[in-house]
Amino acid sequence: MPRTPQQRLGKLGEDRALAHLHAQGLTLLERNFLCKAGEIDLIMIEGPTLVFVEVRRRGSARFGGAVYSVTPAKQQRLLRAAQYYLLRHKIPPPCRFDLIAIDDEKLSWIQNVLEM
């Protein structure tokens, strides 16, 4: 259970993102996948494609908003965590990275934000 107000807001953002993605037909495989390389908020499946989802929430679009909070360092951690997750598969499925950006209350789903 989230302990800080920031963690509670983050969980609410993930809950909202998950509901949105379910409504679009994606199925949850794993939530908050954690490994030594980093964390992936949601791992979902859409048809044959494995979808790694980063959820970012910001109170406002000041300073670039949620989209711009995914720094190059964060991108590298996501890529490494995904590679670690894919070690479970003999033959890795097609995959992509999506971003759910929540600014204030506006949710944006951006598909294919990173290349492996």
pLDDT digits (tens, 9 = 90+) for 41-66: 999 999 999 999 999 887 655 666 67
Sorted by where each begins, the domain ranges of the chain are 5-114
| CATH of range 5-114; options 3.40.1350.10, 3.20.20.140, 3.40.50.720, 3.30.70.890 | 3.40.1350.10
| pLDDT tens readout for residues 80-100 | 999 999 998 889 899 999 999
C-alpha 44/C-alpha 62 separation (Å) is 30
C-alpha 68/C-alpha 72 separation (Å) is 10
